[in-house]
C-alpha cells in the first residue's frame, strides 16, 4: 500500500506540476477537467487528506461540512480564496492555502491587453475581418482612443496594480491610484495618491481594478461610481467579477456613458451576464489573467510546496486559515 499522502485535484494540472504531484503523492486527478458538482467532489475526495481546488469550485459551508473526515486541507490553485468559506474551514479545523506572489507579471500583461483591446476597438475589428465585411482602410473607420494622452486610475495598488502602472508609464499614461494606505515614494514612482475611491474615479480616463473580492468591495463599481468617471472612460477588470455591478456597467456601455470595457473576470463564471455578449464595446477574455505556462506552473509548485509543508508537519508558506 502506498505510504504517500492521498490527495484529490478537482481539475487537471499542467504536465510539469502533474509530474511532481504524482511522484510525491497518491494523487487522484480530474483529468476530464470539467467543473464538478458538490456530490462529485465529496465522492472523489473519499480517503484524501487534501483537496486541491480552483476558483470554479464553490467550497461553501455545506460542502465543507460534507467532506470526508480524512481531509485535512483545502489547497487553492489560485490567489483568490473567495470561492472557499474560510470560516467554515476554520471551524472544521482544516488548513487552507493559496498561491500568492507568482501571478503578478502575467496578470499585469493581461490588464494591458484588456486596456489596448478596449481602447482600440479590437473586438469590432476582428469581427469585421472574420465576417468578411472589411472593405479596406478608411479615415473614420473604428477610431479608438490613445493611451498616452490619458490618466490611468489604479484601484488597488498592490503587486499587480504596481506592475500595471509600470507598464502604463511606458505608454505615456499619467498614473493615479487609491489603496487602503499610501505607498512610499519609491513605490509610487510619481503616481498621484487619492485618499478616497471617489476622488480617484473623477480623474480615471482608464480605470483598472485590482482589488480582492470582499464584502467591502462587492459591486464596488456601481451606477453611482460610474457616474463619477470622466466622459469616454474605459473600465478594465482583471481582478474579480464580484467588484463590478454588471447591470450598471452594461447600461453604461449601451448608452455610451462608458466608451468601452476590457473584462477578464465575471460574476457567476462561466455563466457571465448575457448582456455583455450583445455589446461590441465589451472586449472580453475567459479569465486568462494567469494563463501562461510559466505562471500556471509556478502556481502549481506553490500548491505542492504548501502540501509538502502540511504533510511534513510544518507551517505552509501560504496559509490563509
Domain CATH code at residue 67: 3.40.50.720
Residue from 163, 80, 150 nearest 120 by CA: 150
pLDDT along the chain (321 residues), means of 10: 86 98 98 96 98 97 98 97 96 98 97 98 97 97 97 98 98 98 96 98 98 93 98 97 97 98 96 97 97 98 98 98 97
- Is 49 a domain residue? yes
Q: 34 and 158: one domain?
A: no
- Is 318 a domain residue? no
Q: Choose the catalytic residue: 178, 194, 240, 296.
A: 240
Q: What share of the chain has pLDDT > 70, as a percent?
A: 99
Q: Looking at residue 1, what is its pLDDT?
A: 39
Q: 90 and 145: one domain?
A: no
Q: From residue 142, give the alpha-carbon distance in Å to each of 41, 87, 209, 307.
A: 47, 49, 26, 51
Q: 209 and 115: one domain?
A: yes
- Is 75 a domain residue? yes
- Is 127 a domain residue? yes
Q: Domain count of the chain?
A: 2
Q: Looking at residue 33, what is its pLDDT?
A: 96
Q: 187 and 202: one domain?
A: yes
Q: Choose the catalytic residue: 269, 280, 296, 319.
A: 269
Handedness of CA 156, 102, 113, 239 (dihedral sign): negative
pTM: 0.94
Q: 280 and 166: one domain?
A: yes
Q: 96 and 152: one domain?
A: no
- Is 96 a domain residue? yes
Q: 93 and 158: one domain?
A: no
Q: Choose the catalytic residue: 287, 294, 296, 315.
A: 287
216 carries an active-site annotation: no
Q: Looking at residue 2, what is its pLDDT?
A: 54
Q: 249-287: per-residue pLDDT in tens?
A: 999 999 999 999 999 999 999 999 999 999 999 999 999
- Is 198 a domain residue? yes
Q: 208 and 279: one domain?
A: yes
Q: 158 and 36: one domain?
A: no
Q: 79 and 48: one domain?
A: yes
269 carries an active-site annotation: yes
Structural domain that includes position 299: 6-102+292-312
List of residues 6+ apart from 14 with CB closer than 8 A: 293, 296, 297, 300
Here the cell at position 164 is 500595471
Q: From residue 189, give the alpha-carbon distance in Å to each of 74, 149, 177.
A: 38, 19, 12
Q: Looking at residue 34, what is its pLDDT?
A: 95
Q: 256 and 123: one domain?
A: yes
- Is 25 a domain residue? yes
- Is 297 a domain residue? yes
Q: 272 and 307: one domain?
A: no
23 carries an active-site annotation: no
Amino acid at each position: 500500500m502506498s505510504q504517500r499522502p492521498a490527495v484529490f485535484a478537482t481539475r487537471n494540472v499542467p504536465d510539469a506540476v502533474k509530474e511532481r504531484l504524482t511522484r510525491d503523492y497518491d494523487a487522484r486527478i480530474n483529468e476530464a477537467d470539467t467543473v464538478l458538482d458538490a456530490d462529485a467532489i465529496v465522492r472523489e475526495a473519499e480517503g484524501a487528506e487534501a483537496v486541491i481546488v480552483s476558483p470554479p469550485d464553490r467550497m461553501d459551508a455545506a460542502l465543507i461540512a460534507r467532506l470526508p473526515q480524512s481531509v485535512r486541507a483545502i489547497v487553492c490553485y489560485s490567489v483568490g480564496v473567495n470561492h472557499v468559506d474560510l470560516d467554515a474551514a476554520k471551524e472544521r479545523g482544516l488548513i487552507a492555502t493559496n498561491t500568492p506572489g507568482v501571478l503578478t507579471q502575467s496578470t499585469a500583461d493581461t490588464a494591458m491587453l484588456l486596456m489596448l483591446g478596449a481602447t482600440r476597438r479590437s473586438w469590432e475589428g476582428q469581427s469585421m475581418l472574420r465576417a468578411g465585411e472589411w472593405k479596406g482602410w478608411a479615415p473614420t473607420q473604428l477610431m479608438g482612443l490613445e493611451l498616452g494622452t490619458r490618466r490611468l486610475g489604479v484601484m488597488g495598488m498592490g503587486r499587480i496594480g504596481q506592475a500595471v502602472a509600470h507598464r502604463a508609464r511606458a505608454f505615456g499614461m499619467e498614473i493615479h491610484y487609491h489603496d487602503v494606505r499610501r505607498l512610499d515614494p519609491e513605490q509610487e514612482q510619481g503616481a498621484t495618491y487619492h485618499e478616497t475611491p471617489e476622488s480617484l474615479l473623477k480623474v480615471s480616463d482608464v480605470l483598472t481594478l485590482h482589488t480582492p473580492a470582499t464584502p467591502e468591495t462587492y459591486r464596488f463599481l456601481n451606477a453611482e461610481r460610474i457616474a463619477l468617471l470622466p466622459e469616454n472612460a474605459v473600465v478594465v477588470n482583471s481582478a474579480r467579477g464580484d467588484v463590478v455591478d454588471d447591470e450598471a456597467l452594461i447600461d453604461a456601455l449601451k448608452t455610451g456613458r462608458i466608451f468601452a470595457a476590457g473584462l477578464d473576470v465575471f460574476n457567476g463564471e462561466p455563466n457571465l451576464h448575457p448582456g455583455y455578449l450583445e455589446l461590441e464595446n465589451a472586449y472580453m477574455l475567459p479569465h486568462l489573467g494567469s494563463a501562461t505556462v510559466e505562471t500556471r506552473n509556478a502556481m502549481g509548485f506553490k500548491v505542492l510546496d504548501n502540501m509538502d509543508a502540511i504533510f511534513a508537519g510544518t507551517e505552509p508558506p501560504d496559509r490563509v486559515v
